[in-house]
């Protein structure tokens, strides 16, 4: 059985705690605990995964899982070297701030695209909602089911989505403004 030791190298260029967009993206990519891992990576020059886990009070398995999730998004890179004395593999990890900025930009664009699509969906056509609240459908589907809920057979009533559209427009404007689009 081989034993693997991970060593972390950090560039230390970005303070994650002061960047809410970075926090949001990291949490989406690698979970809430990733913030602690990344902050620790940025504050240390080199650190093995066991010391990292101990410093932040996290299990080594969870630290590894976070590192692998960050690697999947190319936010960290590694070099594999063999320790001549022990024969164990050592992974030298480096956090890539430039990749994080790219991921934040891609995430922003995706969020804006989804908001636009949702707004378009809301603006196109009439919507009906089940009196029990189990489903909301467009006019065509409501008509196909003779204005009865396809799930509970309850009555489908017209749904005025003007407030939803207004909220989506506000959210989209705010997001585009904050992202500079």
The full set of domains in the chain, from first to last, is 4-102 (1.10.10.10), 125-179 (no CATH)
pLDDT of residue 81: 81
Chain-centroid distance of CA 138 in Å reads 30
Average pLDDT, the chain: 85
Out of 7-11, 121-125, 148-152, pick the least confident: 7-11
The C-alpha atoms of residue 23 and residue 107 are separated, in whole angstroms, by 12
Per DSSP, the three-state class of 9 is: strand
d(Cα 46, Cα 30) in Å, to the nearest integer? 21
Alpha carbons 53 and 75: distance in angstroms, whole number: 19
Q: Phi first, then psi: what are they for 48, rounded to 5°?
A: -85, 160
Confirm if 161 and 127 have CB atoms less than 8 A apart. Answer: yes
Q: Would the pLDDT of 2 be above 80? A: no
pLDDT of residue 91: 76
Write the CA distances from 11 to 66, 70, 96, 134, integer angstroms. 18, 15, 7, 50
59-99 residue pLDDT tens: 989 998 999 999 999 998 787 888 889 898 877 777 887 88
Burial (CB < 10 A; 0-12, 13-18, 19+), residue 37, is buried
d(CA 95, CA 75): 6
């Amino acid at each position: 059985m081989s034993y693997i030791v991970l060593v972390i190298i950090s560039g230390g260029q970005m303070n994650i705690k002061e960047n809410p967009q970075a926090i949001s993206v990291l949490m989406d990519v690698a979970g809430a605990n990733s913030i602690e891992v990344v902050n620790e990576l940025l504050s240390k020059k080199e650190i093995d995964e066991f010391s990292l886990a101990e410093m932040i009070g996290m299990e080594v398995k969870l630290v590894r899982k976070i590192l692998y999730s960050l690697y999947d998004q190319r936010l960290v890179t590694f070099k594999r070297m063999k320790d001549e004395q022990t024969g164990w593999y050592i992974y030298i990890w480096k956090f890539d701030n430039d990749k994080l900025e790219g991921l934040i930009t891609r995430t922003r664009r995706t969020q804006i695209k989804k908001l636009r699509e949702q707004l378009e969906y809301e603006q196109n056509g009439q919507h009906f909602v089940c009196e029990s609240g189990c489903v909301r459908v467009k006019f065509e589907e409501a008509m196909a089911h003779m204005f009865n809920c396809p799930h509970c057979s309850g009555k489908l009533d017209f749904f005025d989505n003007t407030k939803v559209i207004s909220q989506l427009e506000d959210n989209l404007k705010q997001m585009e403004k904050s992202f500079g689009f």
